[in-house]
Amino acid sequence: MVEVFDTFRSKYEDYGRGNKRNIYKGMNDERLAYEDRKKAKPIAEAYLYGKTQGRETASNPIALANIAYSTKSDIGNQGGNDGWNFKGRGLLQVTGRGNYEKIQKVIDKLAPESKVNVFDSVPESGYTPHQAAITGMAEWVEKSLYALASQSTKNNDDKIVNNIVNELNEKTDSRAKRIVHYRGGSATATISGSSKKVNYTAPKDKNGNPKYKSTKEIFKIDECILLTGEKKEKKEEGKLPKWVQIAIAEEEKGISEYNNCKYIISTYHNSTDNVKMTRCGREKDIKTGNHEWCAAFVNYCLKTAGYKSQNDPGARWYKDVNKVSRKGGTPHHTTEVWAKRHTTMYIGGVVVWKSNTHTAFIVGIDKNNPNNYIILGGNQDNYVRFWTAPKTKVYSYCLFPDDYEGDLIPLKEIEPNDLRKGAKKYTEGSRS
């Protein structure tokens, strides 16, 4: 962790010239100023617990944290001392019992050797740098922020930071500062939900030079290599294609339009070449615009796995092996090939409804109804979920990325629970 401290020290010199105690403080301080929090008790009550005008840290922060957060069910809190026990901690300020639990599940699955447990034994004095680094990486995985960051070849720095901020803290007033911390210079950003603009310029020393290095400089982002289809997964007999594993991981998160619209837009739809989606179909204020996302989900899984994809948000094009381009307005086929067509159905193949209105991955034959396929996809009744669907609904072939070199695994009779313990099967049209 010496390297981690060196990095923190170079970035956070304003915390007591980078000493350990103040670095801890910088990573764990929670601003207890709740005047603008819609679900907090009236600020007058906060004064009863020691808050005074002009002070952000109250004399009784435990009581204030519980007033503001304890009963916030949207972050999984259940009352009592949950507001304080599960307050914002770490590099990404993980907040709420539900979020702590999600992060812990990722740590237990991917980094058990770290021995980090922030859910069952909540740190009294905040995270250590080791805990902060592990939980930060876990949230990066849990929210699939790596997928947004990897779009550096498509989006500029400011857009990448904005997309990530939208996932972490959309209404923050520090958006411009976060952009500058990442790439340096100065920036202007609008606070979400208002017309207020905030400007921020990186501080300079007495000679007019940047006082601190940007995150982009510290971690040498421009020297990083984005791994795409050039690095193939090892061929292992019986191994599920990587994109199916990614799709199953997304299904396990319970992604739906009801609760995850911004994530669907900024992660799935943003992976396509033609980002038109601005809202989800379940939003009450929807009037016009593209709000379907089944093809975007397929594209995200393939692309994140490092393979070729159609890159278009239209479901109908996933039955074609040639890429589609929208340059000039009307979608048209190009000479570039992205997929191979197979008339035998294999696990992980991309299938399209004969109506051309839906696309997803085929993962098996319904164990209870051999006339049906088990389909895994996005926008399946507004969720990422498993469907049982009649074989007659889909075209009689499936597509695999042209650069896939893994095994083609024949379909078996399964239940979703065979692929992920606890996974459920739904019939198309089920809204529950």
Domain-embedded: residue 239: no
The stretch 206-210 carries a mean pLDDT of: 87
My answer on whether 268 and 409 are in the same domain is yes
Measured CA to CA, the distance from residue 310 to residue 292 in angstroms comes to 16
| Token pair recorded at residue 263 | 């994530």
Residues 336 and 317 both lie in one domain: yes
Within this chain, do residues 363 and 313 fall inside the same structural domain, yes or no? yes
In whole angstroms, give the CA distance from residue 428 to residue 432.
11
The mean pLDDT of 50-72, rounded to a whole number, is: 66
Residues 78-100 pLDDT 10s: 988 888 888 888 777 788 888 88
Q: Does residue 35 sit within a domain?
A: yes
pLDDT at 422: 93
Comparing 17 with 53, the larger pLDDT belongs to 53
- Token readout for 165 is 């901020």
> Is residue 233 in a domain?
no
Determine the pLDDT at residue 225: 58
With bands split at pLDDT 50, 70 and 90, how would you rate the model's confidence at 275? Answer: low
In a domain, 230, yes or no: no
Last residue of a domain, one of 168, 191, 223: 223
pLDDT in tens, 110-137: 888 888 888 887 666 667 888 888 888 8
Mean of pLDDT values over 410-421: 94
Is residue 155 very low, low, confident or very high in pLDDT (cuts 50, 70, 90)?
A: low
Task: Say whether pLDDT at 148 is over 90.
Answer: no
User: How do residues 179-205 score in pLDDT, each as one tens digit?
Assistant: 888 888 888 888 777 788 888 898 988
| pLDDT over 80 at 25, yes or no | no
Task: Answer yes or no: is 136 within a domain.
Answer: yes
For residue 225 the two structure tokens come to 């290599």
Residues 385 and 367 in one domain: yes
195 contact partners, CB below 8 Å, separation of at least 6:
none
What is the pLDDT at residue 230?
Answer: 42
Q: What is the mean pLDDT of the chain?
A: 78
Looking at the fold, whether 397 and 264 belong to one and the same domain comes out as yes
Does residue 345 sit within a domain?
Answer: yes
Give me the pLDDT at residue 361, please: 98
Section 400-414 average pLDDT: 91
Condensed to tens digits (0 to 9), the pLDDT of residues 214-271 reads 888 887 777 765 554 444 444 444 589 999 999 999 999 999 988 888 888 888 888 8
Question: What percent of the chain lies above the pLDDT cut of 90?
Answer: 28
Statement to judge: residues 281 and 405 lie in one domain: yes
Banded model confidence at residue 8, pLDDT cuts 50, 70, 90: very low
Same domain, 115 and 201: no
pLDDT of residue 379: 92
Give the residue with greater pLDDT, 327 vs 175.
175
Let me know if residue 240 belongs to a domain.
Answer: no
Last residue of one domain, picked from the residues 79, 111, 145: 145
Domain match, 312 and 277 both: yes
Indicate the residue among 145, 171, 206 that finishes a domain: 145
Verify that 195 and 75 share a domain, yes or no: no
Number of domain units in the chain: 3
Asked if residue 382 and residue 269 are part of one domain, the reply reads yes
In-domain check, residue 234:
no
Q: The whole model's pTM is what? A: 0.52
Domain span at residue 302 reads 245-427
Does 161 share its domain with 123?
no
The reported pLDDT for the residue numbered 191 is 78
One domain, residues 63 and 78: yes
